[in-house]
Amino acid sequence: MSERWTPHATVAVVAERDGKFLMVEEISDGQRVINQPAGHIEANEAILDAVIRESIEETGWQVKPTALIGLYTYTAPANGITYHRYCFAGEPIQAIPDAQLDDGIVGPRWMSIEELRDCPNLRSQMVLTCIEDYLSGKHYPLDVITEHP
Protein backbone atom coordinates (compact mmCIF):
# COMPACT_ATOMS: atom_id res chain seq x y z
CA MET A 1 0.00 0.00 0.00
CA SER A 2 1.49 3.36 -0.96
CA GLU A 3 1.19 6.39 1.29
CA ARG A 4 -0.79 9.34 0.06
CA TRP A 5 1.42 12.36 -0.65
CA THR A 6 0.09 15.47 1.02
CA PRO A 7 2.01 18.74 0.84
CA HIS A 8 1.81 21.14 3.75
CA ALA A 9 0.06 24.43 2.88
CA THR A 10 1.78 27.41 4.48
CA VAL A 11 1.76 31.19 4.33
CA ALA A 12 4.52 33.74 4.81
CA VAL A 13 4.65 37.52 4.74
CA VAL A 14 7.36 39.96 3.68
CA ALA A 15 6.78 43.14 5.68
CA GLU A 16 9.14 46.08 5.14
CA ARG A 17 9.51 49.22 7.23
CA ASP A 18 12.25 51.84 6.82
CA GLY A 19 14.33 49.52 4.62
CA LYS A 20 14.22 46.62 7.08
CA PHE A 21 12.21 43.42 7.00
CA LEU A 22 10.17 41.93 9.84
CA MET A 23 11.73 38.56 10.56
CA VAL A 24 11.31 35.85 13.17
CA GLU A 25 14.13 34.37 15.18
CA GLU A 26 13.05 30.88 16.17
CA ILE A 27 14.31 27.50 17.28
CA SER A 28 14.06 24.77 14.65
CA ASP A 29 15.61 21.35 15.20
CA GLY A 30 17.54 22.77 18.15
CA GLN A 31 19.08 25.62 16.11
CA ARG A 32 18.36 29.35 16.07
CA VAL A 33 17.16 30.29 12.60
CA ILE A 34 15.69 33.31 10.82
CA ASN A 35 12.40 33.12 8.91
CA GLN A 36 9.62 35.39 7.74
CA PRO A 37 6.48 35.32 9.83
CA ALA A 38 5.13 32.05 8.44
CA GLY A 39 3.18 28.96 9.31
CA HIS A 40 0.55 26.43 8.39
CA ILE A 41 -2.92 27.30 7.19
CA GLU A 42 -5.34 25.80 9.70
CA ALA A 43 -8.45 23.79 8.83
CA ASN A 44 -11.29 26.01 7.55
CA GLU A 45 -9.06 29.12 7.72
CA ALA A 46 -8.93 31.63 4.88
CA ILE A 47 -5.45 32.13 3.46
CA LEU A 48 -5.31 35.85 4.25
CA ASP A 49 -6.56 35.21 7.78
CA ALA A 50 -3.66 32.77 8.21
CA VAL A 51 -1.20 35.48 7.15
CA ILE A 52 -2.55 37.90 9.76
CA ARG A 53 -2.70 35.26 12.50
CA GLU A 54 0.79 33.87 11.88
CA SER A 55 2.32 37.34 11.87
CA ILE A 56 0.82 38.09 15.28
CA GLU A 57 1.68 34.67 16.73
CA GLU A 58 5.29 34.79 15.55
CA THR A 59 6.22 38.47 15.85
CA GLY A 60 3.59 40.29 17.88
CA TRP A 61 3.02 42.55 14.85
CA GLN A 62 -0.28 43.09 13.07
CA VAL A 63 0.42 42.98 9.33
CA LYS A 64 -2.05 43.77 6.54
CA PRO A 65 -1.54 41.63 3.40
CA THR A 66 -1.28 43.89 0.34
CA ALA A 67 -0.18 41.62 -2.53
CA LEU A 68 0.75 38.06 -3.42
CA ILE A 69 4.47 37.74 -4.14
CA GLY A 70 4.34 34.15 -5.35
CA LEU A 71 3.82 30.47 -4.72
CA TYR A 72 6.84 28.41 -3.68
CA THR A 73 7.54 24.74 -3.10
CA TYR A 74 10.28 23.31 -0.94
CA THR A 75 11.03 19.78 0.25
CA ALA A 76 12.85 19.92 3.57
CA PRO A 77 15.84 17.58 3.63
CA ALA A 78 15.50 17.07 7.39
CA ASN A 79 12.03 15.49 7.22
CA GLY A 80 11.18 14.99 3.54
CA ILE A 81 8.02 17.08 3.87
CA THR A 82 7.07 19.21 0.87
CA TYR A 83 5.82 22.68 1.75
CA HIS A 84 3.68 24.82 -0.55
CA ARG A 85 4.16 28.44 0.53
CA TYR A 86 1.88 31.32 -0.40
CA CYS A 87 4.08 34.35 0.18
CA PHE A 88 2.56 37.80 0.57
CA ALA A 89 3.75 41.37 0.80
CA GLY A 90 2.32 43.04 3.86
CA GLU A 91 2.18 46.40 5.55
CA PRO A 92 3.27 46.39 9.21
CA ILE A 93 0.43 48.14 11.04
CA GLN A 94 1.35 48.03 14.72
CA ALA A 95 3.08 46.04 17.41
CA ILE A 96 0.68 44.31 19.78
CA PRO A 97 2.25 44.77 23.24
CA ASP A 98 0.82 41.71 24.99
CA ALA A 99 0.82 39.29 22.04
CA GLN A 100 1.52 35.71 23.09
CA LEU A 101 4.21 34.33 20.76
CA ASP A 102 4.23 30.68 19.68
CA ASP A 103 6.46 28.13 21.41
CA GLY A 104 9.94 28.08 19.94
CA ILE A 105 9.85 31.75 18.94
CA VAL A 106 12.76 33.81 20.28
CA GLY A 107 11.25 37.02 18.97
CA PRO A 108 10.91 39.47 16.10
CA ARG A 109 13.91 41.04 14.38
CA TRP A 110 14.05 43.84 11.83
CA MET A 111 16.81 43.06 9.34
CA SER A 112 18.16 44.78 6.22
CA ILE A 113 18.51 42.94 2.92
CA GLU A 114 22.29 43.01 3.38
CA GLU A 115 21.98 41.32 6.78
CA LEU A 116 19.68 38.70 5.29
CA ARG A 117 21.96 38.01 2.34
CA ASP A 118 24.85 37.50 4.79
CA CYS A 119 22.81 35.46 7.30
CA PRO A 120 24.16 31.91 7.65
CA ASN A 121 21.12 30.57 9.48
CA LEU A 122 18.07 31.20 7.31
CA ARG A 123 15.42 28.57 7.95
CA SER A 124 15.29 27.64 4.25
CA GLN A 125 16.28 29.03 0.88
CA MET A 126 12.69 30.25 0.46
CA VAL A 127 13.30 33.03 3.00
CA LEU A 128 15.72 34.97 0.82
CA THR A 129 14.01 33.97 -2.44
CA CYS A 130 10.72 35.50 -1.25
CA ILE A 131 12.41 38.76 -0.25
CA GLU A 132 14.40 38.97 -3.48
CA ASP A 133 11.18 38.40 -5.44
CA TYR A 134 9.48 41.14 -3.39
CA LEU A 135 12.36 43.53 -4.11
CA SER A 136 12.25 42.70 -7.84
CA GLY A 137 8.64 43.88 -7.96
CA LYS A 138 6.73 40.61 -8.02
CA HIS A 139 3.41 41.80 -6.63
CA TYR A 140 0.14 40.25 -7.76
CA PRO A 141 -3.29 41.51 -6.67
CA LEU A 142 -4.92 39.66 -3.81
CA ASP A 143 -7.98 38.96 -5.95
CA VAL A 144 -6.00 36.29 -7.84
CA ILE A 145 -6.94 34.11 -4.85
CA THR A 146 -10.42 32.63 -4.85
CA GLU A 147 -11.59 30.59 -1.91
CA HIS A 148 -14.89 28.75 -1.86
CA PRO A 149 -16.55 28.07 1.48
Residue range of the domain that includes 34: 8-139
User: What is the structure's pLDDT at 76?
Assistant: 86
User: What is the structure's pLDDT at 148?
Assistant: 86
Residue 133 lies in a domain: yes
Q: Which residues of 28-65 are buried (b: 16+ CB within 10 A; e: fewer)?
A: eeeeebbbbbbbebeeeeebbebbbbbbbbbbbbbbbb
CATH code for the domain in which residue 84 is found: 3.90.79.10
User: What is the structure's pLDDT at 2?
Assistant: 60
CB contact at 8 A, 58 and 28: no
Residue 146 lies in a domain: no
Provide the pairing of β-strand 82-95 with 8-17.
Answer: parallel
Residue 79 lies in a domain: yes
Nearest in space to 10 (alpha carbons), one of 76, 78, 100: 76
Residue 98 lies in a domain: yes
Instruction: In whole angstroms, give the CA distance from residue 102 to residue 12.
Output: 15
Residue 149 lies in a domain: no
User: What is the structure's pLDDT at 68?
Assistant: 98
CB contact at 8 A, 94 and 62: yes
Q: Per-residue confidence of the chain (149 residues) as pLDDT tens digits?
A: 467 888 899 999 999 999 999 999 999 888 999 999 999 999 999 999 999 999 999 999 999 999 999 999 999 888 889 999 999 999 999 999 899 999 999 999 999 999 999 999 999 889 999 999 999 999 999 999 999 87
Residue 3 lies in a domain: no
How many structural domains comprise the chain? 1
Residue 2 lies in a domain: no
Residue 73 lies in a domain: yes
